[in-house]
Structure 1
Amino acid sequence: MRTLFAAIVVLCLGAPGALLPDRAHAQGDNPVVVELFTSQGCSSCPPADAFLAQLAEQRDDVIALALHVDYWDYIGWPDRFAQHAFTKRQKGYARAGGWKTLYTPQAVIDGQHHAVGSRTGQVSALVDQHAARPSPVALEIARDGETLQIRAMPKDGPVGPVDVHVVRYTDSAEVDIPSGENAGKRLTYTHIVEEWDVAARWDGTGEFTAAVPVTGPAGVVVLVQSAGYGPILAAARLR
């Protein structure tokens, strides 16, 4: 485990009606979103990276997303997948949740609870806990060519305000790391987030629809999340 002192302490450790067009169609089925904040420059992270891949492979009810942060780049190896936006997202969770520390590897489950990403039992227990909760939002997404159609509706009354996020990710990549804490290792990373955009702010009442341009073969995830880094209320994916 490594510690970095900064501004915050950082440790290295009704339903919708007719379905959308069925070309590359995905319906929200109450999956649990596991965001892993990780870094190629963190020696504690490879077990968590491997567990994220295992979790996603073994559980159809998990949407796994690896967000590579940039605050360990200075120690000798710049993570080629890292984006400062992911560091900002992790800090946003910490502020919203009153968490006094950031750490890698950190798993955030449905935007609400967190655990060390390599503590497999703790992460699995949190996933089970969230999987048992019904989603308050019915969500459907479909891709038709280069257009992503999004449709959402609250099930039992208003849920807003919420943000509708569109996430693009790469299934896997192998990386040779010649320097830094993981020097000499060839590591496999999965569910690597490449793009993260807030497509819309929705008031959480009535039906929400949107058409968003998407290009390329990368996987697509849509999240409906309470504004201000709150709980993730619904999620859907296209692979």
Structure 2
Amino acid sequence: MSLLPAGVSAQADATQAEAAHPSAVLIELFTSEGCSDCPPADELLQQVSGHETAEGQLIVGISEHVSYWNGLGWKDPFSSELYTGRQNNYSSHFGLSSVYTPQMVVNGREQFVGSDRRALQAALTAESQRKQIMLHIDSAQLAQGSITFTYSASALPAKGSLQLVAVLVDDVDRSNVLSGENSGRELTHVAVARALAPLGALHEAEQRSVTLPLPASFHSNAGTGHHLVLFAQQNGDGPVMGTDTKPI
């Protein structure tokens, strides 16, 4: 029996998926190791990230660990005020009274409790009907203390501006939680955000090159693989109009 939500297919060969997927859908999971409701959402993201929907969209997950649980018994080693700030922006955008975990945001358009499979499937189905821009990572390479990548972009909307955002993620991270609500548990996370960098307005480009510094806490040989995620978003907290990812 499949553990995937209905409409999500098994993971394709990485090379074929990179070459063939007509578009991608971005799932951001705001989570914390200090929250006992979060592990089911972490597991759901693990089950879908890197797979394709029935409509052929590649599901690109990002696990963004927030910081506001850190004073409640356990300091999440992957947490950052940066991701807390991004979630706060979404909270204002969606008109919510407060932030919460776990929260999933799909393509910047829909938000719901991060363990809600039905809501995720409905959001994926809705996103399959939306037109996206062409955004492609042509190459990506880690060097001493930095990452350099090239990308191309086309079919941008005639009106409005898009902001380009780059995210460096660990493919898999594990943690032995020693206190707090998840005390005694070993937690597994996928697509863990380690750096997130707004790159400014996106313009039509046959190819552009970007070099970004790596965070001091990032170790390329830490026993896990890594991906670069690149996406274009309206106003920094609005609809995501295009996404691509590449292993590094």
TM-score under structure 1 length normalisation: 0.82
Does the CA-based 8 Å contact 1:26-1:237 persist in structure 2? Answer: no
Q: Residue 138 of structure 1: which of 134, 139, 152 is its match? A: 134
Q: By how many angstroms is 1:100 displaced?
A: 2.0
Counterparts of 1:31 and 1:123 in 2: how far apart (Å)?
15
Of 216, 219, 222, the match for 2:230: 222
Q: Which residue of 2 aligns with 1:148?
A: 149
Q: Does 1:87 align with 2:95?
A: no
Change (3 A) 1:158 1:209: farther
Change (3 A) 1:26 1:100: farther
**In structure 1, C-alpha distance between the alignment counterparts of 2:85 and 2:46, rounded to whole Å:** 24
| The one of 100, 108, 112 aligned to 1:103 | 100
> Gaps (5+ residues) in structure 1?
1-24
Aligned to 1:212: 210
| Separation in 2, partners of 1:199, 1:187 | 32
Residues 29 and 236 of structure 1 are in contact (CA less than 8 Å); yes or no, is this contact kept in structure 2? no
Between Structure 1 and Structure 2, how many residues are aligned? 212
Counterpart secondary structure, 1:75: coil
The Cα of 1:122 is off from its aligned counterpart by: 1.1
* 1:208 to partner: Cα distance: 6.8
1:172 aligns with 2:167: no
Structure-2 change in CA distance of 1:199 and 1:26 (3 Å):
farther
Instruction: Report the counterpart of residue 184 of structure 1 in structure 2.
Output: 184
SS in 2 for 1:101: coil
How much has 1:134 moved relative to structure 2? 2.0
Where do residues 108-119 of structure 1 align in structure 2 (5 Å cutoff)? 108-119=105-116
State the alpha-carbon separation in 1 of the partners of residues 51 and 34 from structure 2. Answer: 27
2:234 is aligned with what amino acid?
S
Structure 2 unaligned segments of length 5 or more: list them: 1-17, 143-147, 215-219
- The answer to whether the 8 Å contact 1:26/1:238 transfers is no
Residue pairs, 1:1-40, within 5 angstroms: 29-40=22-33
Structure 2 vs 1, CA of residues 208 and 163 (structure 1 numbering), >3 Å: closer, same or farther? farther
User: What is the alpha-carbon distance in structure 1 between the residues aligned to residue 51 and residue 233 of structure 2?
Assistant: 25
Decide whether the 8 Å contact of 1:27 with 1:236 is kept in 2: no
Distance 2:24 2:63 in 1: 16
Q: In structure 1, which of residues 56, 81, 84 is the aligned counterpart of residue 49 of structure 2?
A: 56
Q: Match of 2:104, SS?
A: strand
Post-superposition Cα deviations, 1:147-176, rounded to whole Å, max 9, x if no partner, equal 311111225x42431111111000111110
User: What is aligned with 1:7?
Assistant: none
Deviation at 1:97, TM superposition (A): 2.2
The amino acid across from 2:81 in the alignment is H
Matched, 1:65 2:62: yes
Identity %: 29
CA distance in 1, matches of 2:180, 2:19: 40
Q: Which residue of 1 aligns with 2:35?
A: 42
Whole-Å separation in 2 of the counterparts to 1:144 and 1:106 = 30
C-alpha distance in 1 between matches for 2:73 and 2:230: 34
Q: Report the CA distance shift for 1:198/1:169 in structure 2 as closer, same or farther (over 3 A).
A: same
**Contact (CA 8 Å) 2:50, 2:61: kept in 1 or not?**
no
Indicate the structure whose relative CO is greater, using CA pairs within 8 Å and at least 6 residues apart: 1
64 and 26 in structure 1: CA distance in 2 versus 1, 3 angstrom threshold: same
Contact 2:140–2:228 (Cα < 8 Å) also in 1: no
Q: Matched residue of 1:74: which SS?
A: coil
TM-score (structure 2 length as normaliser): 0.79
Change (3 A) 1:51 1:208: same
